[in-house]
């Protein structure tokens, strides 16, 4: 039942005050022109997936090859393109727009993003090492990592030893975050807690893999076309109801008028 | 206005709270909702506001200090907490700093704050509900 995830832009964090007095820290994510750019099918590629694109890119900054790719899909050039594996029955038509109703309030999701880069960081910051002592003869190396191995045997530093080095700007997935609120008009998804990456960065949101699949998710995805149709249907229904109400009102008025005319007639006869 | 500021402004509007104009040094009385089992009641907490933090936005908070049974007690309240029933200014203090942390080291006579008798309410639309 694997369905597509979404690409979202991290806008920033704020808090929500609940009726029961609780405060919830939330990260605000926004869907920006999220459209299906291409499909991967079993026949052609050996697996099924949808390629989504988000954001708006200036045409002159898009490579000729990607311009062609977007032209085939008949979509505007996108800033960010990501592929999501989906089950064959959950493939989405190219050009369809996904909206924020894709997730419901209370649902658990996994969010992936590129973390904020910290540059070259020491052992204390990078791996939570304790450092050396402040006194008792320690000189210059208060924040060093200390020993990195044993003696002549093995006589080397083991591969993967935690040391100083580059920290951050790696892809990190935070699992089992809860969706607190969604707003499909503005394309906003509010997620409880923090999400990897700086403000303005792209993150991908997927249904949580470590939770049972929720029953009331929209398959294959919450689409703009479906929403438009629903709105049109609702409008149509409202119009119909209005017309009916008007017709009933007219009938009632006509009846009343008739009744009054008859009453007048009777009065005249008398 | 960016999206976050917009969302916060909307939330403040939807909470529909009127925050009185008060600043550090003022004595305030805060009605705080306390839930005991199933029933809730409002508990009054009165003391000197010794700091206000993070502005007037949704993240704003203030600290109230009082001496309770000879022991100094400080509580931090979020400005827009839904647990706060009311905020009332009891007395205006005349102080010269934004954070009254020096009161922690003082007791009795030296911990007094002079009353600001010349206080004038701000001329903004949502300020001074009880000024």
Residue pLDDT, tens place only, A93-105: 999 999 999 999 9
Q: What is the pTM of this model?
A: 0.85
Partners of B4 on chain A (C-beta within 8 Å) are 11-14, 28
Q: What are the beta bridge partners of residue A60?
A: none
User: Which residue of chain A is at minimal alpha-carbon distance from B10?
Assistant: A16
Helix (H) or strand (E) holding A28: strand A23-30
B6 contact A CB<8A: no
Number of domains in chain A: 3
pLDDT tens across A37-47, in order? 999 999 999 99
User: Which residue of chain B is at minimal alpha-carbon distance from A27?
Assistant: B4
Is there a single domain that holds both residue A247 and residue A141?
no
- Measured in residues, chain A has a length of 270
pLDDT tens across A184-217, in order? 999 999 999 999 999 999 999 999 999 998 888 9
pLDDT band at B120 (very low <50, low <70, confident <90, very high): confident
Q: Identify the pLDDT of residue B60.
A: 94
Mean pLDDT across the stretch A75-90? 95
A270 contact B CB<8A: no
Which position has the token pair 């832009």?
Answer: A9
Phi/psi class of residue B66: alpha, beta or left (left: φ > 0; alpha: ψ in -120 to 50)? beta
Which position has the token pair 């005050």?
Answer: A17
- A229 inside domain: yes
Mutate to test the interface with B, among A8, A12, A15, A17 (most CBs of B within 10 A): A17
Q: Is the C-alpha dihedral spanning B76, B78, B83, B89 positive or negative?
A: positive
- Residue range(s) defining the domain that contains residue A133: 119-166
In chain A, positions 178-207, which contact chain B (CB-CB < 8 Å)? 186, 188
Q: Identify the pLDDT of residue B131.
A: 40
And the tokens for A154? Answer: 């093995």
Strands, E assignment, A32-117? 35-40, 49-54, 80-85, 108-114
Task: Decide if pLDDT at A29 tops 90.
Answer: yes
CB A62 within 8 A of CB A81: no
Q: Per the CB < 8 Å rule, is A17 touching B33?
A: no
Task: Decide if pLDDT at B128 tops 50.
Answer: no
Of A14, A28, A30, the CB nearest to B58: A14
pLDDT tens across B86-95, in order? 999 999 999 9
Is there a single domain that holds both residue A70 and residue A25?
yes
Domains and CATH numbers, chain B: 1-105 (2.30.30.790)
Is there a single domain that holds both residue A75 and residue A178?
yes
Tell me how many degrees the CA angle B23-B28-B29 measures, rounded to the nearest 5.
Answer: 155
Is there a single domain that holds both residue A155 and residue A65?
no
- Measured in residues, chain B has a length of 131
Pinpoint the alpha helices (H) of chain A: 42-45, 64-73, 123-127, 224-269
- ω before A41 within 30° of 0 (cis)? no
Q: What CATH number does the domain containing A111 carry?
A: 2.40.30.10
User: Which residue of chain B is at minimal alpha-carbon distance from A25?
Assistant: B59
Is there a single domain that holds both residue A151 and residue A262?
no
How many angstroms separate the Cα of A209 from the Cα of each of A173, A204, B24? 11, 14, 49
Interface A:B, Cβ pairs < 8 A: 39
- A149 inside domain: yes
């Amino acid at each position: 039942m694997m369905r597509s995830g979404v690409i979202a832009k991290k806008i920033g964090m704020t808090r929500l005050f609940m009726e029961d007095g609780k405060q919830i820290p939330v990260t605000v994510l926004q869907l920006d022109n999220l459209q299906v750019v291409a499909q991967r099918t079993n026949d052609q590629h050996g697996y099924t997936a949808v390629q989504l694109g988000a954001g708006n890119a200036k045409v002159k900054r898009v490579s000729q090859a990607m311009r062609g790719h977007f032209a085939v899909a008949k979509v505007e050039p996108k800033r960010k393109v990501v592929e999501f594996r989906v089950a064959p029955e959950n493939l989405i038509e190219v050009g369809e727009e996904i909206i924020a109703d894709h997730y419901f309030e209370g649902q658990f999701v996994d969010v992936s993003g590129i973390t904020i880069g910290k540059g070259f960081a020491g052992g204390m910051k990078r791996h939570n090492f304790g450092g050396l002592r402040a006194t008792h003869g320690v000189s210059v190396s208060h924040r060093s990592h200390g020993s990195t191995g044993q003696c002549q045997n093995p006589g080397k530093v083991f591969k993967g030893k935690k040391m100083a080095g580059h920290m951050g700007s790696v892809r990190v997935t935070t699992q089992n975050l809860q969706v607190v609120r969604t707003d499909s008009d503005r394309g906003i998804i509010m997620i409880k807690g923090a999400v990897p990456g700086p403000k303005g960065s792209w993150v991908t949101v997927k249904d949580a893999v470590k939770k049972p699949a929720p029953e009331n998710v929209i398959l294959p995805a919450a689409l703009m076309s479906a929403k438009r149709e629903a709105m049109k249907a609702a409008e149509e229904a409202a119009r119909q109801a209005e017309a009916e109400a008007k017709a009933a009102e007219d009938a009632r008025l006509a009846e009343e008028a008739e009744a009054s005319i008859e009453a007048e007639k009777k009065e005249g006869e008398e | 206005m960016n999206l976050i500021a917009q969302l916060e402004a909307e939330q403040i509007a939807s909470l529909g709270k009127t925050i009185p104009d008060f600043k550090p040094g003022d004595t305030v009385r805060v009605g705080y909702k306390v839930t005991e089992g199933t029933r809730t009641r409002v508990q009054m907490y009165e003391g000197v506001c010794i700091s206000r933090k993070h502005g007037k936005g949704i993240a704003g908070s203030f600290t109230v200090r009082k001496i309770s049974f000879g022991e100094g007690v400080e509580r931090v309240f979020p400005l827009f907490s839904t647990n706060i029933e009311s905020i009332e200014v009891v007395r205006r203090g005349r102080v010269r700093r934004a954070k009254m942390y020096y009161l922690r080291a003082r007791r009795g006579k030296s911990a007094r704050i002079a009353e600001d008798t010349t206080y004038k309410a701000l001329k903004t639309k949502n300020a001074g509900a009880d000024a």
